[in-house]
A = this chain, B = another copy of it.
Amino acid sequence: MSGFRGGYLGKILRIDLTRKKHLTQPLPPELAYNYIGGYGVGGRILYDEVPPWVGAFDPQNLLIFATGPVNGTPTPVAGRHSVVSKSPLTGFFGDANAGGFWGAELKAAGYDLVVITGRAPKPTYVFIRDGEVRFGDASPYWGMDARASDRSLKRDLGDAKIQVSNIGQAGENLVRFAGILTDEANRIAGRCGLGAVMGFMKLKAVAVRGEGKVPIAHPEELRKISGEVIKFVKEDKNVQMFSKGGTPLYFGPLWQLGDTPGFNYTAKQLNPEGLSWPGGYDAILSGTRSCYLCPIGCRRISTVKEGAYSFEPNVEGPEYETVSMLGSNCGVTDAKAVAKANDLCNLFGLDTISTGGTIAFAMECFEKGLLTKEDTDGVDLRFGNAEAMIKMIEKIAFRDGFGDILAEGSRRAAKIIGKGAEEYAIQVKGVELAAHDPRVFQGGGPHYACAITGGRHTEGITIDWEILGRPRDSLGLPKPTDSPEGKGVAAKVIEDWTAFISSAGWCWFADINAAYMVEENFVKTFNAVTGLNLTLKDALLAGERIINIRKAFNVKHGATRADDKLPKRLLEEKGRTGKVVDLSKTLDEYYEARGWDKNTSKPTKETLIKLGLTDVAKEIWG
């Protein structure tokens, strides 16, 4: 008896790699209800158990794989799981999430969360099958790319239906922006460098397999809403367009808006045609695919059969972020080259956003003369040189020569290079900015500056509401105007909302594409699955609590107001639209809306107590 009526299985699997031990703990309902799931529940555990003196590369760091209640249920567009850990890139709270089938399979295997600690004496994998846990010797897979190791593990375990989360060579080599792959290296929990934590732990893979079903509190009600959502998805012109074009669909329009970065976030123009869909992207597209029970199916399948950019046919193709970061942001306009770079990142296990951001940074340093060929091992690291970019991806993954410097991420690399290179590292808290330029939407200023996990795009950017015309009436936001006023508040509200749906287990695209029509339908679905009776206001409050527990982690670990800052370039240099980020009003507005002290950035005692975080208030304020 788990004490839950649906959605949650009520079980946490604890794994100690040092001692090869495991145990099953109940998931306390209070923890689940207050923090929803995913990076919310995982976030609270990280806050409680990882003190400031524990580093990211430390056997007392935790690596938490976390699902939410809607994962593994028939809920549409709910195939994402989260990973949570202290980040080697930021030194603060880290999380990342990936689509696919792994989260659903973990629940079928009987667990809501897997909380891993310790460091294995030699390469190890963990296999969780219907509540049983096995530690295996991963020495044969160590050194393999993530796709080969995924397939080898399935073969050696004799079951093609196993789902694998694993790392490639980048994670093994502690590249600070290595991610954790799944689905035969086709999906990645990319950001914050959590693959390096897995590498430090000498954990090559977590394989899961199960036959269990997730109980649903009100199956009829779930069937009804799900049916409506699926019907809408299949009929709505916009969502259908997204099904067809996937995220690369955004590339053309967002480039035009000036939102998509080019040449390391400078104002330089290029012809976006070669990377657009429809357009140059057509040449690589060979199919589409869905995550677990997703009616949208936005995943791109790509193929390049011949030439220098060829790779295994019909593997995952580059998403919008990748097209932008390894394409336009590196001055590369050939979709085939980007597809090749994307595939290498997947094989080695590199976050394409940080990889693109870091290489673009190095390209600018090179063009400005801060780096020479002598520094780059002879690589002519100019913008637009696709071969150089591809070479550098490999050098990063293996920490070879100059790649060893870039493997530290742009913030650390800039420090090593010196000569004012910091100016060209477009990052927040060490995490390279995603491909949405906050010079284009005013909510992006405070959102990125105050971001708990750095330059992310899935934590509630306001662009859909501010620029793309998506109404957010249900969240209490008016129609946006040109004025900065209200944009700080909007950033706060959309972040809270995003924290709720992401922690529950939904894909961000369920929300951003309005697949559920209105926000209330998420809450209704959540209630149908769990048997709870949340209102939309409750959901927002839970989201706010999730934001604050992660923020409190950062504060405990030494983050201050000085960490809440944007790259100078975005504040001083005009982008392609001729604008800079103006924080003069929105930042204070954001801190005030958050109830965070604007001098120290700390959540005030009142804010924490309002959210029921009295113990946290005591810890932070004494």
Contacts and interface: CB of A to CB of B under 8 A. Distances in A.
Interface of A: 16, 18-19, 51-60, 88, 90-92, 118-119, 121, 375, 399, 401, 404-405, 408, 412, 415-417, 429-430, 556-563, 597, 599-600, 619, 622
Contacts of A16: 416
Contacts of A416: 16, 18-19, 59, 118
Which label, helix, strand, loop or mixed, suits the secondary structure of the A interface? loop
A613 to B, nearest CB: 16
A227 to B, nearest CB: 47
Given A19-B416, A53-B91, A59-B416, 4 more contacts: A53-B563, A54-B91, A55-B88, A600-B622
Contact of A619 (B401, B404, B560): B560
A18 B56 contact: no
Which of A53, A57, A599 gathers most chain B CB within 10 Å?
Answer: A53
A417 B561 CA distance: 38
B53 A404 contact: no
B52 A559 contact: yes
A174 to B, nearest CB: 9
Contact of A558 (B52, B59, B121): B52
A552 to B, nearest CB: 12
Nearest to A52: B558
27 contacts: A18-B404, A19-B416, A51-B91, A51-B558, A52-B52, A52-B558, A52-B559, A53-B90, A53-B92, A53-B558, A53-B563, A54-B91, A55-B55, A55-B58, A58-B412, A59-B408, A59-B416, A60-B408, A60-B412, A60-B415, A121-B399, A121-B401, A121-B404, A558-B558, A560-B619, A561-B622, A599-B622
B404 A91 contact: no
Which of A55, A56, A597 gathers most chain B CB within 10 Å?
Answer: A55
A94 B203 CA distance: 30
Q: How many copies does the complex hold?
A: 2
Nearest to A21: B418
A117 to B, nearest CB: 8
Contacts of A412: 58-60
B57 A57 contact: yes
Q: Which 10 A-B pairs have the closest CB atoms?
A: A52-B558, A53-B91, A55-B55, A599-B622, A558-B558, A600-B622, A557-B558, A57-B57, A18-B416, A121-B404
A619 B600 CA distance: 9
A90 B58 CA distance: 11
B57 A55 contact: yes
A19 B18 CA distance: 34
A18 B418 CA distance: 12
A470 to B, nearest CB: 34
Nearest to A121: B404
A128 B93 CA distance: 40
Contacts of A619: 560, 562
Contact of A53 (B54, B408, B429): B429
A91 B408 contact: no
A622 B597 CA distance: 10
Contacts of A558: 51-53, 556-558
A269 to B, nearest CB: 34
